A and B are shown apart, each in its own frame.
Chain A
Amino acid sequence: MKEFLLDLLHNEPLVYTLMAIVPLVWVVPFALFAVWWERKISAHMQDRLGPMRTGGYHGWAQTIADILKLIQKEDIIPSAADKKLFILAPYLVFAGSYAAYAAIPFSAAYVGSGINIGLFYIISISSLVVVGLLMAGWASNNKWSLFGALRSAAQIVSYEIPVALAILAVVMVTGSFDLQEINRQQSGWFWNWFLFQKFPFLFVGSLIYFVASLAEVNRTPFDIPEAESELVAGYHTEYGGMRFALLFLSEYANMFAVSAIATTLFLGGWNSPFGDWLAGPFWGVFWFLTKGMAFIFVQMWLRWTLPRLRVDQLMYVGWKVLIPFAFVVVIGVGFWVMALR
Chain B
Amino acid sequence: MLTYFRDIWDGVVTVLIGMKVTWMHLFTPAVTIQYPDVKLKLPERARNRLYVNMDDCIGCDQCAMACPVDCITIETVKSTPDVDLGLTSVGTKKRLYVPVFDIDIAKCCYCGLCVYPCPTECIKMTDVYEFAEFDRENLIYRFATMTPAETADARSRLSAYEKEQAAKKAAAAAAKPAPAAAPPAPGAPPPANPETKG
Contacts and interface: CB of A to CB of B under 8 A. Distances in A.
B132 interface: no
A306 B25 CA distance: 14
B22 to A, nearest CB: 4
B30 A49 contact: yes
Contacts of A301: 19, 22-23
Interface in A283-341: 301-302, 304-306, 321
A47 interface: yes
A304 B19 CA distance: 9
Contact of A49 (B21, B22, B34): B34
A321 B8 contact: yes
B26 to A, nearest CB: 5
A305 B16 CA distance: 10
Interface residues of A, number: 15
Interface of B, helix, strand, loop or mixed by DSSP: helix
Contacts of B34: 49, 52
A314 B125 CA distance: 59
Contacts of A304: 22
A306 B26 contact: no
B68 interface: no
Taking each of A46, A48, A305, A321, which has the highest tally of chain B beta carbons within 10 Å of its own beta carbon? Answer: A305
B21 A305 contact: yes
Interface stretch (A37-45, A85-93, A114-122, A172-180): A37-45
A143 to B, nearest CB: 32
B18 A44 contact: no
Taking each of B19, B23, B26, B27, which has the highest tally of chain A beta carbons within 10 Å of its own beta carbon? Answer: B26
B25 A47 contact: yes
B28 A47 contact: yes
B23 A44 contact: no
Contacts of B30: 43-44, 47-49
B26 A49 contact: no
Interface string A11-49: 000000000000000000000000000000101111111
Nearest to A320: B4
Contacts of A48: 30-32
Given A306-B15, A321-B8, A45 B32 contact: no
Interface residues of B, number: 16
B26 A44 contact: yes
A321 B6 CA distance: 12
A84 B22 CA distance: 44
Taking each of A43, A45, A52, A301, which has the highest tally of chain B beta carbons within 10 Å of its own beta carbon? Answer: A45
Contacts of B26: 41, 44-45
Contacts of B22: 45, 301, 304-305
A197 to B, nearest CB: 21
A52 B32 CA distance: 11
A150 to B, nearest CB: 26
A321 to B, nearest CB: 6
B31 A305 contact: no
A301 B16 CA distance: 11
Nearest to B28: A47
A306 B8 contact: no
Nearest to A207: B12
Contacts of A46: 25
A305 B15 contact: yes
Interface in B22-55: 22-23, 25-32, 34
Contacts of B19: 301-302, 305
Contacts of A52: 34
A46 B21 CA distance: 10
Contacts of A305: 15, 18-19, 21-22
A247 B8 CA distance: 34
Contacts of B18: 305-306
Contacts of A43: 30
A51 to B, nearest CB: 11
A44 B30 CA distance: 7
B15 A44 contact: no
A49 B25 CA distance: 12
Taking each of B27, B31, B32, which has the highest tally of chain A beta carbons within 10 Å of its own beta carbon? Answer: B32
A340 to B, nearest CB: 28
A41 B15 CA distance: 18
Interface string B95-130: 000000000000000000000000000000000000
24 contacts: A41-B26, A43-B30, A44-B25, A44-B26, A44-B27, A44-B30, A45-B22, A45-B26, A46-B25, A47-B25, A47-B28, A47-B30, A47-B31, A47-B32, A48-B30, A48-B31, A49-B32, A301-B19, A301-B23, A302-B15, A302-B19, A305-B15, A306-B15, A321-B8
Given A44-B27, A45-B25, 8 more contacts: A43-B30, A47-B28, A48-B32, A49-B32, A301-B22, A302-B19, A305-B18, A305-B21
Chain A to chain B: the 9 pairs with minimum beta-carbon distance, closest first = A49-B32, A305-B22, A305-B18, A45-B22, A49-B30, A45-B25, A44-B26, A47-B31, A47-B30
